[in-house]
């Protein structure tokens, strides 16, 4: 199998866009159909968010970055002044949705089974169960995955990628599409910096090689460090 495009043409240097290769052409057609359908549903979601004046952010990361911990601490801090709801995406269980509800926000769980990301159609159905007319801020916590969610627009105002200091500094270089698609990078678990080999400056440099405009905030969901800046960013980006 070709490691570049996934087709079975093993000839070195073959043209991956060669229309004479029926297998590759079919793969491109299927991908375009899937993304085109998703984008139509995303446009409907975006229209709903605009109509209801709901600021919506898609939180993306690899598993274990601390997205849910960031969300629960954010909700606890802001929910007295802002109505917050969460669409929670996981392959199985509703554990994270229960944590979100306990923190004080409405939460709808989407279990994707073997699916590795949320799509706009599923998010649209979840919206039917949320009180959008009284919601100021909606978070979509995506399935832990730095690959597929980068390609799927859910109708959000922005993607926010969460990267913890327990991960590699070079994640932006390894998963460039996600960091290119994100407006903000949260570097989480900075309370662990004295104990891990992680240089935030390198990660920021790598991320800005991919996306020169990406904003960066360093936070600790455990200690609260950096959360004032993060919460100000959210408030400044409310509709």
Domains and CATH numbers, the chain: 22-236 (3.40.50.300)
DSSP letter assigned to residue 66:
-
In this prediction, residue 18 carries a pLDDT of: 54
Query: Which DSSP string corresponds to 88-126?
Result: EEESS-SHHHHHHHHHT-EEEEEE-TT--S--HHHHHHH
pLDDT at 21: 66
pLDDT score for 35 = 84
3-state DSSP: the chain helix, strand, coil percent, rounded to 5? 45, 20, 40
What local confidence, expressed as pLDDT, does residue 115 receive? 82
According to DSSP, the β-strands at 106-111 and 215-218 are unpaired
Q: How far is CA 159 from the centre of its chain?
A: 5
Alpha-carbon gap, residue 70 to 57, rounded angstroms: 13
Which of 73, 236, 63 lies closest to 143, judged by CA? 63
Residue 114 has what pLDDT? 83
In the block, residue with structure tokens 């070195």: 12
Using 50 as the pLDDT threshold, list the residues of the chain that sit under it. Answer: 1-14
Query: Which tokens belong to 102?
Result: 């306990």
Counting beta carbons within 10 angstroms of the beta carbon of residue 124, is it exposed (0 to 12), middle (13 to 18) or buried (19 or more)? middle
Return the pLDDT at 28.
Answer: 60
At 38 the pLDDT is: 94
User: Quick one: pLDDT at residue 22?
Assistant: 65
Looking at the chain, how many residues does it have?
Answer: 239
* Residue from 155, 144, 210, 201 nearest 177 by CA: 210
Q: Nearest CA to 43 among 131, 108, 120, 158?
A: 120
In this structure, how many other beta carbons lie within 10 angstroms of the beta carbon of residue 129?
A: 11
In b/e form, how buried is each residue of 74-87, taking b as 16+ CB within 10 angstroms? bbebbbeebbbbbb
* CA 86/CA 150 separation, integer angstroms: 19
pLDDT at 25 (0 to 100): 63
């Amino acid at each position: 199998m070709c490691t570049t495009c996934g087709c079975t043409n093993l000839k070195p240097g073959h043209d991956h866009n060669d229309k004479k290769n029926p297998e590759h052409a079919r793969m491109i057609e299927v991908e375009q159909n899937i993304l085109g359908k998703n984008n139509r549903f995303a446009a409907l979601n975006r229209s709903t968010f605009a109509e209801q004046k709901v600021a919506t952010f898609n939180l993306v990361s690899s598993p274990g970055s601390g997205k849910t911990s960031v969300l629960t601490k954010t909700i606890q801090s802001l929910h007295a002044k802002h109505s917050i709801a969460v669409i929670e995406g996981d392959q199985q269980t509703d554990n994270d949705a229960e944590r979100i509800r306990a923190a004080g926000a409405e939460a709808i769980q989407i279990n994707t089974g073997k699916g590795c990301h949320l799509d706009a159609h599923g998010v649209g159905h979840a919206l039917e169960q949320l009180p959008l007319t009284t919601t100021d801020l909606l978070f979509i916590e995506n399935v832990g995955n730095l690959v597929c969610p980068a390609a799927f627009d859910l109708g959000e105002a922005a993607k926010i990628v969460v990267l913890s200091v327990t991960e590699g500094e070079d994640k932006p270089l390894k998963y460039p599409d996600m960091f290119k698609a994100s407006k903000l990078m949260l570097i989480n678990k900075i309370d662990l910096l004295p104990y891990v080999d992680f240089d935030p400056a390198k990660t920021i440099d790598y991320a800005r090689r991919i996306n020169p405009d990406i904003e960066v905030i360093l936070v600790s969901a455990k200690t609260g460090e950096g959360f004032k800046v993060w919460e100000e960013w959210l408030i400044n980006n409310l509709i």
